[in-house]
């Protein structure tokens, strides 16, 4: 199982590292620059508003289904038709509720129009994730890896043509960005649907109320967890707009989005670990296989990477923001510097939270997530009026580290793993070592003749990354020999 994890993680990371940076820095960033902070902030608020009701689209079905299909493959034939009808009903309910709340909040015609398209996109994305949960449940990780980047690849092609293809002389509009998402999601959903239909031997839609109620009852704990996590992860920009005057609010949301986009990009790496580990942990638990080695392997890989990225980007935050943006550099840097260490906490939750999910400890996870929501709300109310987007970033950082700490404690309490103090000490030494490496790399500025003066920091940053990887190898956190042995022997 460790071999399956490493080989498919390698493929998943390779595909995402090839596609996602082009999307984030080539397309998404260019779109924000083209439409301006105000228009992008307007889109970002509606986008996050649409996320708040995402739970209605799924009710935890995807996470429940992923775990369930991984443990009982034969249930795909039995459940697929009924769940398909249920997803369509939930999609209609989502749209109605989102529009009712938008009406109560007195959205104008322009906001409603954008919300309509974003609601459709949210449904398509939810449908894709459900279809992929069946594919990964069957351990078809290579197919799932291809589907994980297909929508972004299509959006790169469409948006790239609109931005640089000279198909129109009109300035790029934020609506075009949304329409491109719709086209890409529709195509990806259609391909994933054909794959699952063939696996499930689908014949016709099945309208069965008792079945709907049974699935919703079993998936409800998963739904509550997703709802609480969505709220404490996505409320920040919504609260910025709500607690601040409209013009200032949109501007601060744009500033927050500048920093959050980079954290969100980093979080995708941690998310990929979770995608693989849910079915793997679930199958191992079902077969009563020991999971301690898999937990340590996955956590060591992600936490080492998270420390390097989180600390490195903290020290080089100003240079990175200056490279990517043209306005609000100081404010965006302050926000990003507070957000990016949260990558360490998020990476931890994607490992330990995934294990708790696979083990069915939804009650404990929901209690922890509810506490996180309260912390996030209270801190945002206290800090946003005084510190604007910076206050929201502080709230996010505190919330994420609290969640990570509590999930680690919960795993230890439930599984009663023997505490390896030597391993914890090694992680602490690595953390301190990476901080020292960054301090040295910042103190000794090297002139790199092949780089423009404004980009000379990239040379130092690259040396920092290399030194950090060497340190991880010296401390045997990343043992390439051990990984090769796993790839050769664990069949």
Delimit the domains of the chain by residue range.
Answer: 2-417
Burial class from Cβ neighbours inside 10 Å (0-12, 13-18, 19+) for residue 55 reads buried
Taking the C-alpha atoms of residue 294 and residue 1, their distance in angstroms, rounded to an integer, is 8
Rounded to an integer, what distance in angstroms lies between the CA atom of residue 125 and that of residue 226?
A: 15
pLDDT at 490: 47
Q: Would you say how long the chain is, in residues?
A: 491
Low-confidence stretches of the chain (pLDDT beneath 70) = 1-9, 37, 68, 72-75, 77, 201-206, 445-455, 479-491
C-alpha distances in Å from residue 137, one per residue of 71, 134, 150: 8, 5, 19
The C-alpha atoms of residue 234 and residue 255 are separated, in whole angstroms, by 15
- 8 A C-beta contact, residue 215 and residue 85: no
Whole-angstrom distance, CA of residue 86 vs CA of residue 205: 10
User: Cα 146 to chain center, whole Å?
Assistant: 17
Q: Which residues contact 62 (CB under 8 A, 6 or more apart)?
A: 126, 129, 130, 133, 222
Distance CA 71, CA 54 (A): 26
What does the pLDDT look like over 356-394, one tens digit per residue? 988 888 889 899 989 998 998 899 889 988 888 888 899
Q: What angle separates helix 362-387 from helix 342-358, to the nearest 10 degrees? A: 160
pLDDT score for 63: 73
State phi, psi for 49 to the nearest 5 degrees. Answer: -60, -45
Specify the pLDDT at position 318: 87
CA distance 386 to 383: 5
Q: What is the pTM of this model?
A: 0.75
Contact 276, 5 (CB under 8 A): yes
- Give the Cα separation of 287 and 71 in Å (integer): 9
Per-residue CA distances from 417 to 202, 352, 450 (Å):
43, 13, 51
Task: Give just the sign of the alpha carbon dihedral 128, 56, 111, 49.
Answer: negative
Cα-Cα end-to-end distance for the chain: 7
pLDDT for 491 = 47
Question: What sign for the dihedral angle of Cα 399, 400, 401, 403?
Answer: positive
Longest alpha-carbon distance in the chain = 70
Structure confidence at residue 141 (pLDDT): 73
Tokens of 175: 């609506």
């Amino acid at each position: 199982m460790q071999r399956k994890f490493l080989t498919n993680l390698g493929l998943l990371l390779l595909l995402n590292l090839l596609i996602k940076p082009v999307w984030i820095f080539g397309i998404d960033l260019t779109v924000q620059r083209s439409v301006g902070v105000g228009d992008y902030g307007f889109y970002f608020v509606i986008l996050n508003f649409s996320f708040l009701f995402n739970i209605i689209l799924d009710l935890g079905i995807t996470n429940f289904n992923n775990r369930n299909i991984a443990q009982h493959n034969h249930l795909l034939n039995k459940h697929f038709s009924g769940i398909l009808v249920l997803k369509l009903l939930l999609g209609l309910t989502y749209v109605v509720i989102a529009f009712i709340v938008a009406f109560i909040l007195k959205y104008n015609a322009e906001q409603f129009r954008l919300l309509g398209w974003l609601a459709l996109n949210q449904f398509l994305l939810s449908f894709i994730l459900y279809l992929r949960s069946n594919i990964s449940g069957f351990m078809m990780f290579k197919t799932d890896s291809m589907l994980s980047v297909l929508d972004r690849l299509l959006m790169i092609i469409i948006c790239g043509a609109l931005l640089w293809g000279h198909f129109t002389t009109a300035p790029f509009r934020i609506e075009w960005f949304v329409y491109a998402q719709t086209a890409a999601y529709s195509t990806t959903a259609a391909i994933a649907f054909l794959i699952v239909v063939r696996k499930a031997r689908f014949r016709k839609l099945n309208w069965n109320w008792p079945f709907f109620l049974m699935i919703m009852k079993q998936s409800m704990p998963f739904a509550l967890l997703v709802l609480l996590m969505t709220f404490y992860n996505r409320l920040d920009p919504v609260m910025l707009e709500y607690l601040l005057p409209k013009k200032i609010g949109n501007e601060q949301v744009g500033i927050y989005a500048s920093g959050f986009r980079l954290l969100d990009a980093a979080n995708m790496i941690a998310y990929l670990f979770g995608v693989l580990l849910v079915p793997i942990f679930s199958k191992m638990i079902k077969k009563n296989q020991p999971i301690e080695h898999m937990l340590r392997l996955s956590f060591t890989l992600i936490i080492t990477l998270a420390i390097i990225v989180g600390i490195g980007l903290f020290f080089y935050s100003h240079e990175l923001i200056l490279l990517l943006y043209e306005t609000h550099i100081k404010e965006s840097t302050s926000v990003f510097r507070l957000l990016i260490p949260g990558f360490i906490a998020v990476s931890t939750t994607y490992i330990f939270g995934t294990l708790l999910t696979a083990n069915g400890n939804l009650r404990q996870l929901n209690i922890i997530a509810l506490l996180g929501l309260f912390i996030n709300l209270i801190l945002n109310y206290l800090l946003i009026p005084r510190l604007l987007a910076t206050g929201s970033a502080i709230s996010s950082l505190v919330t994420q580290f609290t969640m990570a700490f509590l999930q680690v404690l919960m795993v230890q309490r439930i599984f009663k793993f023997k505490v390896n103090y030597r391993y914890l000490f090694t992680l602490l030494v690595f953390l301190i070592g990476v901080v020292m490496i960054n301090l040295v790399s910042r103190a000794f500025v090297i002139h790199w003749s092949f780089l423009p003066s404004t980009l000379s920091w990239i040379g130092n940053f690259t040396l920092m990354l290399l030194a950090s990887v060497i340190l991880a190898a010296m401390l045997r956190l990343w043992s390439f020999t051990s990984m090769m042995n796993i790839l050769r022997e664990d069949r």
